[in-house]
Amino acid sequence: MENLERIWQEAASHLEESLPETKKQWIQRISYGGEENGVLILALSSAFYRDTAEKNCRTDIENMVSEIAGSEISVRFTVDASKKPVQKSSPKKEKEKKEKPQSLNTTLNKQYSFDNFISGDNSSFAFNACKVIAQNPGTSFNPCLIYGGVGLGKTHLLESIGNYIDEHNPKMKIIYTTAESFTNEFIDSLLSKEKISAFKSKYRNVDVLLIDDIHFLQKKDSTQEELFHTFNELYDNHKQIVLTCDRPITELTDITDRLKTRFRKGLNVDLQPPAYETRMAIAMQKCKEKGYTIDPKVLEFICQSINTNVRDLEGALTTLSSFASLVGKPVTLDIAREQLKNFIIAPAIKNTDITIDMIIHKTAAYFNVKDYDIRGKSRNKNIMLARHISIYLASELTSYSLSEIGKVMNGKDHTTIMYSVEKIKSIMETDESVRQAVNDLKADLLS
């Protein structure tokens, strides 16, 4: 029989190219462990990884190695902590990278790519559609609208399209921008004829236009008018347009019907919260990218407990990694349960009778300020903290969208609300007093 180590290496290479990301993550953790009586032994570093890889990938692996060997090959999985996956490099890719012409596109964030997007049942349609768009810009699914909640990967997919096109067609002009930046640029351009001419030239002479968070355009009539004409110019010239939104286009208020019609003209795809297996693959990828060392059982607990979005999952990983670094000891399950109670409690307490008014009232009392202070524009440090916490609690404890919370909070826009939520999440990782205030208020509101 042909050497099983060589067969496994060839099989692993084929599997990494053909399997979806959720399975590919496990293939990359498997090492050749030997052979015994014609049985291929594959090693993983822990029992948890062994059991999960066996459950998810056994059939794919046995089919592939049998096809390469030309005869039936059985596989046995084992645990060997000393075995680490071999990191493969591609001389061809390195050569292509060196020979690649200088990019014209400086607005793209190079950390986003299809290779590091973990696709699962919640996102496979959107993921595959975006890859087709990137491979055939302007000809397939044009325009395209990607919609879904916070932290589900809309920006990742949007910029992956741009980065893929930039890599394979570096002479194409691509612009990635947010709806807020587009609005601000447009307002600034109104100062002179030269500026407005330059603005129109910039956006109407691109090959690919990627705009994030178009819900920001609500009530901005002049900006909508400008985008309408920009859209028509690009679409008529077969230029690719991809947009993202936090909800289906039909649910946007204060957007003109003619703009909505154009957004619906092409493909509309949604992103849903990831399933457990996808969350595990994402968590492993994030740990690999950031160098986090977290026990597999703790990872399993995190992914079973946090089912909201990738941003919450990443926040939990950061919290535990920071804790381990600061106290100098590994994170146990008990420590994880204690440190992540703020992350874990949220999914179970949505859709209750808690209102934003209740949250504002209790937060105001806690910080000894007035309700109207929190709703207002005061820059007093204590009031601003109370305001940020109120917004964070509203996003955690109610089913209101960020835009709906903004309306209650004296008409604040979606971006401002998102900023407050992310700010409190960040502060809680390092400031015990703020974390305690949030916990106290949560307990009070849920009692």
Q: What residues have CB less than 8 Å from 140, skipping those under 6 apart?
A: 132, 133
Total residues found in the chain within this entry: 447
Does the annotation place 153 within a ligand binding site? yes
Query: Could you please report the per-residue DSSP string of 291-302?
Result: T----HHHHHHH
CA distance 95 to 115: 19
Q: What residues have CB less than 8 Å from 205, skipping those under 6 apart?
A: 173
- What pairs with residue 267 in β-bridges? 144
- What pairs with residue 35 in β-bridges? 40
Does the annotation place 381 within a ligand binding site? no
Q: Which two tokens stand for residue 300?
A: 């399993």
Query: Could you please report the per-residue DSSP string of 328-395?
Result: TSPPPHHHHHHHTHHHHHHHHTTTSS--HHHHHHHHHHHTT--HHHHHS----HHHHHHHHHHHHHHH
Does the annotation place 151 within a ligand binding site? yes
* Residue whose entry in the numeric block shows the structure tokens 């004409």: 229
End-to-end CA gap in the chain: 68
* Residue whose entry in the numeric block shows the structure tokens 């705009």: 211
CA distance 399 to 282: 25
Q: Which two tokens stand for residue 437?
A: 């205030």
CA pseudo-torsion sign 320, 326, 331, 332 = negative
Q: Encode 366-393: b = buried (16+ Cβ within 10 Å), e = exposed.
A: ebebbeebbbeebeeeebbbbbbbbbbb
Binding-site residue set: 151, 153-155
Binding-site residue set for ATP: 151, 153-155
